[in-house]
Amino acid sequence: MASSPVHLAYRPTFAASQAVIHTDFLIIGSGIAGLSLALNLAERGRVTLVTKKALEDSNTNYAQGGVASVLGEDDSFDLHVQDTLAAGAGLCRREIVEMVVRDGPARIRDLESLGVAFTTQGGQLALGLEGGHSRHRIVHNADHTGREIETHLLDAVLDHERIDVHPYHMAIDLIGPRHVERANVRGVWGAYALDAATGEVRAFVAKRTVLATGGAGKVYRYTTNPDIATGDGVAMAHRAGARIANLEFVQFHPTCLYHPRAKSFLLTEALRGEGGRLIDAAGARFMDAYDARGELAPRDIVARAIDSEMKKTAAPCVYLDVTQLPSGMIERRFPSILERCLDFGIDPRREPIPVVPATHYFCGGIDVDARGRSSIENLFAIGEVSHTGLHGANRLASNSLLEALVFAERAYDGVLENVDTVTLPAVQPWEAPRGHVAPDPMVLEHDWDEARRVMWDYVGIVRSDQRLTIATERLSSLAATVESVYRKSRVNQDLLELRNIIEVGRLVVRSALLRKESRGLHYTETYPDRDDAHFLRDTVLERGGE
């Protein structure tokens, strides 16, 4: 994905040797959620934003389809609420769904006021259609909506004098009571972060800490997510004792490009919204046999249908056929996809595109309330890392950028609550693991591969208790090995991320084993039916409490 040169040229202005940095608000992550909240909070204090790679490295930057919001004349808040609740299969928090849907149009206007351009038609916003939506309501910028949003938010953040940004700083762990030199304190007081340039670990000490670290697609072997999506926020919050909810609900996107050289390239659902059809190798459509809504059924249904077709025919992929779309539409509406497919020698205007499902989105995460407050004092979570109750057991397409925008606004009040009464404690330096030798990169790579394969093979689209039990054993053994390497080595980003993907993988497996039914994105052959009598509730994990 092309990056804006202005961000690549950015150089941090703080002194490189500063081991402890004090701030009012620490935000971890520079996607749509972290950047939006940083802009809001900068009106009220000093904001420090750390992010583990380049500033624009985020899932946000890759979002294609757009942002769902009620803007069409034939649409209504009620319809968007109903569609979201239907996809969520009984587990959405209704008051959160209503809040997010109703706030949507104002948040779209905020983006426009920052200069974000959305595609228009006849002077009005052009509204796309995606699976599970009963109306056209996806606001977009061709097929690179995320990049348009990320670029404008970053420009505004970099222009703001009260926001300090620290790229290439990976948060390792949250600062808790045991790191603080003051008696009887509770909660979180910032985070320790590894500076990739120097290998030093800095303490970022803050009155309020916000995790905006995004998703965890990299926990699985095949994913639409970029490399940053290693579930660090959930792993850190869990280690700190925060409540984590509904991690069994992992969304697989039905259409990821299938090509040996293509790493994680999504083919937006909007292609099906415009009339794209799924076919098998013989050219036959199959979706109607699975759901009356055909290609526009919710994603879990489409992904399972493709999985089943591939298993039935032992085919490595199915195909997305957009050759019948009106002439010029692919060039105009999907320019990035056209360019990328042509790079791989596939011309979507003339031939079907090979596709497979891939891990795309985590509906669960750090459990928060309507203001982004986690179960731990001073700790907040917004965006994909959080579980707000909007998505329930399955996320409706294009509802996540919307959720991030709404919670970045709503969390503002939560973060500011009583903040003036808080004084920062003295914090101990990071308790480094004992070793000084870097971990062997080849062994790390193999462990990465093994963890992600176990998740793909045993915790994928179709699960069973037997498979989940195998995954439990394999991941426990890997976790023990990696923890011992962690204790003995000089840490680096690869090792820290590996530790986190294994931790999140284990939490997904534990959650999946607890849900003895099939619902939304969680489908298990051991319990193929939905069981409202016992499982119309969230799966909550708490350290020591689960």
Select from ligand SIN, ligand FAD, none the partner in contact with residue 228, using the beta carbon and a kind-dependent cut-off of 5 to 8 Å. Answer: ligand FAD
Q: Report how many helices (DSSP H) and strands (DSSP E) the chain contains, helices first.
A: 15, 20
Select from ligand SIN, ligand FAD, none the partner in contact with residue 141, using the beta carbon and a kind-dependent cut-off of 5 to 8 Å. Answer: none
* C-alpha to C-alpha distance for 158 and 160, rounded to whole angstroms: 6
- According to the binding rule CB under 6 A, does residue 398 interact with ligand SIN? yes
* C-alpha to C-alpha distance for 500 and 488, rounded to whole angstroms: 17
**The pair of three-digit structure tokens given for residue 314, joined into one six-digit string:** 């032992």
How many CB atoms neighbour CB 418 within 10 A?
7
CB of 225 or CB of 472, closer to ligand FAD: 225
If DSSP codes are grouped into helix, strand and coil, which group holds residue 204? strand
151: Cβ–Cβ under 8 A, 6 or more apart, which residues? 4, 7, 56
71: Cβ–Cβ under 8 A, 6 or more apart, which residues? 105, 108, 125, 127, 137, 139
Range 241-300, binding ligand FAD (CB under 6 A): 266
Fill in the amino acid letter for 72: G
- According to the binding rule CB under 6 A, does residue 212 interact with ligand FAD? yes
Q: Which residue is nearest to ligand FAD (CB)?
A: 31
* C-alpha to C-alpha distance for 416 and 171, rounded to whole angstroms: 23
Select from ligand SIN, ligand FAD, none the partner in contact with residue 359, using the beta carbon and a kind-dependent cut-off of 5 to 8 Å. Answer: none
CB of 145 or CB of 378, closer to ligand FAD: 145
- Whether 300 and 293 have beta carbons less than 8 Å apart is answered as no
- Tokens 């493709």 belong to residue: 306
Q: Which residues pair with 379 in a beta bridge?
A: 209
Stretch in the footprint of ligand FAD (CB under 6 A) among 220-228, 287-295, 349-357, 521-529 = 220-228
Fill in the amino acid letter for 182: R
Select from ligand FAD, ligand SIN, none the partner in contact with residue 69, using the beta carbon and a kind-dependent cut-off of 5 to 8 Å. Answer: none
State the nearest-atom distance from the C-beta of 139 to ligand SIN, in Å.
12
- Whether 387 and 365 have beta carbons less than 8 Å apart is answered as yes
Backbone φ and ψ of 322, nearest 5°: -120, 20
* C-alpha to C-alpha distance for 465 and 515, rounded to whole angstroms: 10
Residue span 66-85 as binding mask against ligand FAD, x where in contact by CB under 6 A, dash where not: xx------------------
- According to the binding rule CB under 6 A, does residue 270 interact with ligand SIN? yes
- According to the binding rule CB under 6 A, does residue 269 interact with ligand SIN? yes
Range 404-433, binding ligand FAD (CB under 6 A): 404
- According to the binding rule CB under 6 A, does residue 23 interact with ligand FAD? no
- According to the binding rule CB under 6 A, does residue 136 interact with ligand FAD? no
Q: Which of 397, 415, 485, 491 binds ligand SIN (CB under 6 A)?
A: 397
Number of residues this chain uses to bind ligand SIN (CB under 6 A): 8
CB of 26 or CB of 142, closer to ligand SIN: 142
- Whether 40 and 408 have beta carbons less than 8 Å apart is answered as yes
Number of residues this chain uses to bind ligand FAD (CB under 6 A): 43
If DSSP codes are grouped into helix, strand and coil, which group holds residue 313? helix
Select from ligand FAD, ligand SIN, none the partner in contact with residue 171, using the beta carbon and a kind-dependent cut-off of 5 to 8 Å. Answer: ligand FAD
CB of 237 or CB of 513, closer to ligand FAD: 237
Stretch in the footprint of ligand FAD (CB under 6 A) among 2-10, 175-183, 393-401, 463-471 = 393-401
Catalytic pick from 135, 299, 333, 373?
A: 299
Is 299 part of the annotated catalytic residue set?
yes
| Sign of the four-CA dihedral 51, 56, 57, 58 | positive
CB of 228 or CB of 247, closer to ligand FAD: 228
Q: Which of 51, 255, 359, 378 binds ligand FAD (CB under 6 A)?
A: 51
CB of 170 or CB of 416, closer to ligand FAD: 170
Range 45-74, binding ligand SIN (CB under 6 A): 64-65
Q: Which of 21, 26, 27, 28 binds ligand FAD (CB under 6 A)?
A: 28
HSE value, Cβ hemisphere, 13 Å, CA-based, for 393:
24
382: Cβ–Cβ under 8 A, 6 or more apart, which residues? 33, 34, 37, 210, 211, 212, 368, 372, 404, 407, 408, 411
**The pair of three-digit structure tokens given for residue 263, joined into one six-digit string:** 């790493």
Select from ligand SIN, ligand FAD, none the partner in contact with residue 415, using the beta carbon and a kind-dependent cut-off of 5 to 8 Å. Answer: none
State the nearest-atom distance from the C-beta of 270 to ligand SIN, in Å.
6
Q: Which of 23, 40, 48, 60 binds ligand FAD (CB under 6 A)?
A: 60
- According to the binding rule CB under 6 A, does residue 491 interact with ligand FAD? no
* C-alpha to C-alpha distance for 534 and 513, rounded to whole angstroms: 14
Select from ligand FAD, ligand SIN, none the partner in contact with residue 270, using the beta carbon and a kind-dependent cut-off of 5 to 8 Å. Answer: ligand SIN
291: Cβ–Cβ under 8 A, 6 or more apart, which residues? 297, 301, 302, 305
**The pair of three-digit structure tokens given for residue 536, joined into one six-digit string:** 């119309």
Range 156-195, binding ligand FAD (CB under 6 A): 170-171
Q: Would you list the DSSP string of 212-273?
A: -----GGGSSSBSS-TT-S-HHHHHHHHTT--EE-TT-EEEEEEEE--TT--S-B--THHHH
Q: Which residue is nearest to ligand SIN (CB)?
A: 65
Q: Which residues pair with 213 in a beta bridge?
A: none
Residues of the shown chain interacting with ligand SIN in the complex, contacts defined by CB under 6 A: 64-65, 268-270, 397-398, 400
> Which residues have a catalytic role annotated?
299
- Binding residues (CB under 6 A) for ligand FAD: these are 28-34, 50-53, 57-60, 62-67, 145-146, 170-171, 212-215, 224-225, 228, 232, 266, 361, 383-385, 398-401, 404
